[in-house]
Structure formats: structure tokens, C-alpha cells
Amino acid sequence: MRLIRTLIDRDQDHFEPALPPGLSELYDGDLHFRTSPAERPLIIANFASTLDGVVSYEIKGQAGGSTISGGDTADRFIMGLLRASADAIIVGARTVHDVSPEGLWIPEYTYPDAKHLYTEYRVNVLHKPEYPILVIVSGSGRLELERAIFRTPGVRTVVITTSAGKDELTREGAATLGSVEVFALNSNSGSIALPSILRLLYSQFGIQMLLHEGGPTLFGQFLAAEAVDELFLTLSPQIAGRREDAFRPGLVQGMEFIPKCAPWFQLLSVKQEAEHMYLRYRRTPSRSFDVAN
């Protein structure tokens, strides 16, 4: 049964199917990814945004992406499909804080009906372990270790932090958690340089495909480092608005570009279900404009 309707698909020059039939039927098309660029993983980002570009209401209990997408079924299916495709998923610490304590970054958590299809694709077609590794970036190391992501057998969680963050996590008992690995990297005032994170994931963990699930602060750093290859964006048919004195992040936070080096993208596919649109973009070289306005 089809979950989404494909309106545009510009990525059809492939001889072999990538998805097993059950998933390509639900997705209404195939899903191919390029191989990773030299010396770093292929990086695919996935966000849901309102029509006016807001990705979080920043209201306690309603700050997550599911409030933005309205819990949309097809968005959840695509999220699961991208998770099933990835070796690892990376998130910033604030995104973790806004997810329910039971939340898991595994394919079937977002769309349980496709659990067997995701597993078949991941294990039998892609030959990957049952679940992707969850990578959390936190300079402070202040993470709630009672969360399910730190205590679910079979779910491997890697925390990339500073030496102060590692001390904090050790004090809280991270070393006693069997499926949690903590790595301290050099930092500048608590901020770890992105290239060192990518080097660690590529060289030490062999991550070929990394799924970026936010938030906007971490995503901005990836864009600035030219370390985003694709963006899957669910456009949700609502408008959140912003007041001048209240903070509601857009897709990117804490980073800005000038026109000469703003990231541009090529549209790869457009899918739709009811009022939602599901856009897939591939990064292109920056454009420069000589316009007076």
C-alpha cells in the first residue's frame, strides 16, 4: 500500500533497485544514495519545518519535530526509512533533551508498522547491524543517563564531548552503562570542531553514511563545514510565527551565511500526502550573485 505519492523524481538513473519491494511501494519509488566522499561519511539531514521555516515551538513538551509535522504518518515512515539506511544518526544534546525519555533513534520507533521491512532492508540488503549507532554531541556532558537510549540492549550510543563533559558523564555513572561509549575531543570553549567529529566517526567507527537529525545549532555547523550532502525536508502545512522577544529556531541556528557562500541545493524529489510535502535536496556548489537590490 502506497503511503506517499511521488510528484517529481530526478534520481532515476539507476539500473539496480535499492529498496526491497515492500519499502519502495510504501515510498512510491526507489531510494539510492551516493557513496561517501573522500575521508568523511556521506551526510544526509532530515528535518520537519512549518511553512514559515520554524522547526521548534520551543514550548515545554511541544518543542519536538513531531509537533511541527503534526505527528504525520508519512513523515514518520520516511524518518524510519532514513534511519534504516544509515550507519549512524547524529544529534545535538538539546534535541535529545526534547524527546521523551523512552525515545529511541531506531527505525521502527517512528514507524512500527514497517519494522520487518526496515530490518530486512538493513540487515539483508545493506548488510548493516540491526540498529544504527546513535551519536550525541554535547560539550557539557549534561545528559540524562536514565534515558532509554543509554539503557537499551542492542542500541549502541556514542557521546562525543569535551574532557570536562567526559568527567561529568563519568561522575554520573556513564562508564557503568554497557552500550555507551564516551569520547572526549579537543574543544574551544566547549565547542568541538566538526572535522574532528567527522574524522572520529569515519576512521574509528567506519561510518559511511551519517544521518543528521538536528537540531538547528548542530546542523548550522555541518552546513558551514560543507558537510551536508542531502537534505530531506518535510514541509508541514502550518505557520508558527515568531515574536521578536521569543526564540523559535529555523532550520539553522547560531550560524549565518552571506549570499556568496550560502549553501544551495538541487531538488531531487518531491513527494506528497494530503497537505504535507516531502522534499529531497542534494547540495550543489555555492552560487554567487552580482545583483544590486
Ligand X SMILES: NC(=O)c1ccc[n+]([C@@H]2O[C@H](COP(=O)([O-])OP(=O)(O)OC[C@H]3O[C@@H](n4cnc5c(N)ncnc54)[C@H](OP(=O)(O)O)[C@@H]3O)[C@@H](O)[C@H]2O)c1
Q: Give the nearer residue to ligand X in terms of CB position, either 123 or 239.
A: 239
**What is the spatial distance between Cα 167 and Cα 141, in angstroms, rounded to a whole number?**
8
Phi, psi of 266 (to 5 degrees): -100, 135
Nearer to ligand X, 8 or 255 (CB): 255
Q: Does 260 bind ligand X (CB under 6 A)?
A: no
Q: For residue 136, which of 94, 168, 167 has the smallest C-alpha distance?
A: 94
Q: At closest approach, how far in Å is the CB of 2 from ligand X?
A: 24
Mention every residue, 6+ apart, whose C-beta is less than 8 A from residue 120: 20, 22
Residues in contact with ligand X, shown as a per-residue x/- string from 233 to 252 under the rule CB under 6 A: ----------------x---
Complex with ligand X: residue 207 or 227, whichever CB lies closer: 227
Q: Figure out which of the listed residues 3, 86, 158, 192 binds ligand X, where binding follows CB under 6 A.
A: 192
CA quadruple 133, 136, 142, 144: dihedral sign: negative
Place of cell 522534499: 279
Nearest to 76 by CA among 106, 102, 39, 36: 106
- Binding residues among 89-108 for ligand X as defined by CB under 6 A: 91-95, 98
Contact between 56 and ligand X per CB under 6 A: yes
Which DSSP helix (H) or strand (E) runs through 95?
Answer: helix 93-97
Report in angstroms how near the CB of residue 25 gets to ligand X at its nearest. Answer: 25
48 makes contact with ligand X (CB under 6 A): yes
**Residues in contact with ligand X by the rule CB under 6 A:** 47-48, 55-56, 63-65, 68, 91-95, 98, 137-140, 142, 190-192, 213-218, 221, 249, 253
